[in-house]
Amino acid sequence: MKQRLQLISRRSFLEGMNLAVGGLTLGLFSADALANEPSGRMGPKPKTSSEAEERSAPGLNPNAFVHVAPDGTVTIVCHRSEMGQGIRSSLPVLIADELGADMARVRIVQADGHPKYGDQNTDGSNSVRGIYEEMRRAGATARTMLVAAAARRWKVKPEDCEAREHAVFHRGSQRTLGFGELAGEAAKRAVPKPADVKLRPKSELRRVGRELPLLDGPAYVNGTAVFGADIKLPGMLIAMVARPAVMGGRVVKYDATRALAVPGVKRVIQLPEPKPPYTFQTWGGIAVLAENTWAAMKGRAALDITWDDGPNVSYDSRKYRDELVASVRAPGTTVRNVGDVDAALAKAARVVEAEYHVPHLAHAPMEPLVALARVEGDTCEVWAPSQHPQAARSVAAGVLQVPEDKVQVHVTFLGGGFGRKSKADFVAEVVWLAREAGVPVRVQWTREDDLRNDYYHSVSTQRLSAGLDEAGKVIAWRHRTAFPPIGFTFTGANRPAQRDLQQGVTDLALNVPNVRAEACEANAHVRIGWLRSVYNIFHAFAVNSFVDELAQARGVDTREMFLEVLGPPRHVSLQELGVPKLENYGWSLEDHPIDTGRMRRVIERVTTLSRWDERKKDGRALGLAAHRSFLTYVAAVVSVVKDPEGKLRVDEAWVVVDAGTVINPDRVRSQMEGSVIFGMSIALHSEITMKGGAVEQSNFRDYKLVRIGEAPRKIHVDILEGDGRPGGIGEPGVPPIAPAIANAVFALTGTRVRELPLSRTFQALQV
């Protein structure tokens, strides 16, 4: 039977005074249906290199992102993955606004993984900040072609025409032609050169920066949104994999007799062992394939496996902490240097030193990893909640040893990602299993699998030393950081690279004459990966805690200390930073300066909103932290109170964000609110610890996350919007939260917490 799964969600669009109906399609099709529709339905007509073919395609299709059909329907392709950041409610708006489209006649479809879209990696808070202009250009190109077609028909100048409300208008004669009426004619001409396409002035973008509806809201609340595990193919088996508990562990022998005796279990298949560097390879182990998930679970539990854990069995988090401490107590590799720190520390009237520890963390998206694959001959189709469908495609092709164009990767909704779902190891698993089984396979991870086989956020220790002169001014700043880097996963590196250190070490604006930062060695015994805001998490924790400690040491207000260390408003140069170059999240310092003025403004604003002057009052205390990451400036204040039972709780939070140009303010606010909760989990509860080389935590009972009862009474978010290039949004809200909490806890209790999670110090925080 040819079964087609399609979901259409519709919602009312409230735009100004006009009530219109917008349609949105996330089409997910079975392989059978796709065979009949070779171009797939996840995007418009595929872009072809042949101009003749393009001319023969119905409608206007000037690039991979926008298609105008003869009936006027505009299809916009969202090529970034939706994982809660609201990208499907944001990116397409840029195209629609440049085009002058009526959202009621716009269809948004999700792109498959394909190089024609450019980079699709939904990571690094990089969608809007990375392709803001490119998306606008895609819409503007289509508009330019539609306007030119109208002008030719009317024999008028294109400059006298304008596109708005899904039509082209001629100013002089009041004539109008709808986009649909023009699409065919517009498509007959060549796509204009970039120089001939003008972007609209920002004032003409009707929706950008306004309150926009959440396109997928209805599908999320009625159960029809299609996530990774929600697609079923005929004949599909469900796989559960028993994976090695220790990195580098391998199966010595196994007995599948009892597993195969479980009703519904069909196959038992061994997965290939990975070799370092681990990248996105399969993780080894034994898979049980069954007719349903329950049978697969029971079958997996019935496997009898003898493991060889290998050398990483010695990994023990308590011992490793001592290794990291030893590492930062010796000089590391200098990665930033200004003046002479050693001399300044030697002559300082006072030296303040502190060490900070942040544990491994797991991503723990609510949707455990899952993927579906079907392999037929040398072709393969994958359905996956992937942040990086091109990596998934490349990994799948690698597993099958076929060219990438033999692989299609369809992207479902992601039930959270936070960086985990850009790693394609789960796709490698499912593709291998589908080929071996000869039927479609869905690999389903459990929560235990998720927590025990992650690409963990790196464990870290940092040592900060500051020298103060007689007047209390900071004259020396030394920052040593030790953490096993993500590079280990890809190259085996045991020392951070420059691009790792730009996350809060080498890019930190400091109004201090002598500064040195050192990277210290740390060996990895688990796969290391990027987690929402990455190394900024622990660097911001240490730096913001340390500034608070300096304020305490000097007896000045924390806010004043922050502003003093930051220094006057300026654009910080490489020379001032004391680095030869800076990755700066992929942008030059001319395009995205390190602007201390913007940082000062978010600090000043957040301290005003939170009434910083009354920061210790009525049994509550405020804590402040601020951090620039992903080209966005965020300052946060939290208030911590002791409840009647003597437990500490975060009562209220204020976040001020300056991300330059903002497309969708409500999704910016929701990301900041979510960042407060995410940051609270890091601050209060979460840690992954290792013993005998294996993760000690198993599920949400011991990998704790903030629950609703701990959520602050109120989270206030203020957006300082500017006209500048957009910064990131998904991640920059996270780094200031943990240090703001630690600083508030200090202000309230007098106890300085230098190790996360805080529940290690305050049992009272355990809920």
Partner 1 sequence: MSIRVRVNGVEKELEVDPEMPLLWALRDVLGLTGTKFGCGQALCGACTVHLDGQVVRACVTPVSRAAGRAVTTIEGLSPDGSHPLQKAWVDLGVPQCGFCQAGQIMTAAALLAKKPKPTDADIDQSLAGNLCRCGTYNRIRAAVKKAAGVSEE
Residue 575 touches partner 1, criterion: CB under 8 A: no
218 binds partner 1 (CB under 8 A): yes
Single out the residue of 3, 11, 36 nearest to residue 224, CA to CA.
11
Nearer to partner 1, 367 or 548 (CB): 367
**Angle at the Cα of 99 (from 98 to 102), degrees rounded to 5?**
110
Q: How far is the CB of 125 from partner 1 (least distance, A)?
A: 14
DSSP notation for 202-236: GGG-SSTTS----TTHHHHHHT---BGGG---TT-
Q: Check residue 244 for interaction with partner 1 (CB under 8 A).
A: no
Stretch that binds partner 1, among 64-72, 414-422, 515-523, 545-553 (CB under 8 A): 414-422
The CA distance from 591 to 604, in Å, is 24
Nearest to 527, CA basis, from 761, 286, 283: 283
The one segment of 300-308, 364-372, 469-477, 655-663 that binds partner 1 by CB under 8 A: 364-372
Closer by beta carbon to partner 1, 480 or else 649: 649
Q: Minimum Å distance from CB 721 to partner 1?
A: 19
SS3 at position 227: strand
Q: Residues with Cβ < 8 Å from 552, sequence gap 6 or more?
A: 746
The yes or no reply on residue 644 touching partner 1 (CB under 8 A) is no
Q: Does position 365 bind partner 1 by CB under 8 A?
A: yes
What DSSP state is assigned to residue 102?
A: -
Using CA of residue 265, residue 270, residue 274, residue 279, what is the dihedral sign? negative
Helices 536-554 + 558-566 axis angle, to 10: 110
Distance CA 387, CA 534 (A): 16
Distance CA 607, CA 107 (A): 43
Q: Is 238 left (phi over 0), alpha (psi -120 to 50) or beta?
A: beta
Stretch that binds partner 1, among 26-34, 291-299, 542-550, 562-570 (CB under 8 A): 291-299
Q: Is 700 in the site for partner 1 (CB under 8 A)?
A: yes
Here the tokens at position 237 are 């088996």
237 counts as binding partner 1 under rule CB under 8 A:
no
Q: Nearer to partner 1 by C-beta: 262 or 756? A: 262
Looking at the Cβ atoms of 171 and 707, the one nearer to partner 1 is 707
Reduced DSSP (H G I as helix, E B as strand, rest coil) percent helix, strand, coil of the chain, to 5:
35, 25, 40
The residue range among 91-99, 159-167, 489-497, 670-678 that interacts with partner 1, by the rule CB under 8 A, is 670-678
CA pair distance 231, 126, nearest whole angstrom:
29
**Residue 450 CB, nearest approach to partner 1 (Å):** 9
Pick the stretch among 61-69, 109-117, 623-631, 710-718 that binds partner 1 (CB under 8 A): 710-718
Contact call for residue 531 and partner 1 (CB under 8 A): no
Question: Using CB under 8 A as the criterion, what x/- string covers residues 57-96 for binding partner 1?
Answer: -------------------------xxxxx----------
238 interacts with partner 1 by CB under 8 A? yes
Give yes or no for a contact between 205 and 140, defined as CB atoms under 8 angstroms apart: no
- CB 101 within 8 Å of CB 71: no
Judged by CB under 8 A, does residue 368 bind partner 1?
A: yes
Determine, following the binding rule CB under 8 A, whether residue 258 of this chain makes contact with partner 1. Answer: no
Which one of 58, 234, 263, 580 is in contact with partner 1 (CB under 8 A)? 263
Q: Which of 605, 607, 645, 647 is nearest to 740 (CA)?
A: 607
Tell whether residue 294 is a contact of partner 1 (CB under 8 A): yes
Binding of residue 146 to partner 1 (CB under 8 A): no
Tokens of 385: 């909640």
Residue closer to partner 1, measured from CB, 206 or 363: 363
- Enumerate the β-bridge partners of residue 361: 457
Q: In terms of CB distance, is 224 or 317 closer to partner 1?
A: 224
Nearest residue to 267 (alpha-carbon basis) of 400, 384, 441, 427: 441
1 binds partner 1 (CB under 8 A): no
How far apart are the C-alpha atoms of 474 and 569, rounded to whole Å?
18
For 182, 422, 505, 624, the CA distances from 569, given in Å and listed in that order, are 51, 37, 20, 20
Q: Which of residues 4-23 bind partner 1 (CB under 8 A)?
A: 11
The H or E element containing residue 634 is strand 632-642
Q: Which is nearer to partner 1, 58 or 263 (CB)?
A: 263
What DSSP state is assigned to residue 596?
H
Cis? peptide before 568, omega within 30° of 0: no
Q: Which of the stretches 124-132, 141-149, 200-208, 213-221 binds partner 1 when contact is defined by CB under 8 A? A: 213-221
According to the binding rule CB under 8 A, does residue 715 interact with partner 1?
yes
Segment contacting partner 1 (CB under 8 A): 50-58, 221-229, 581-589, 738-746? Answer: 221-229
Within 433-462, which residues bind partner 1 (CB under 8 A)? 444, 446-448
Interface residue with partner 1, options 274, 417, 440, 693 (CB under 8 A): 417
Which stretches of the chain bind partner 1, using CB under 8 A?
11, 82-86, 214, 216-227, 229-230, 232, 238, 263-264, 292-295, 364-368, 413-418, 444, 446-448, 666-667, 670-671, 673-678, 699-701, 705-709, 711-715
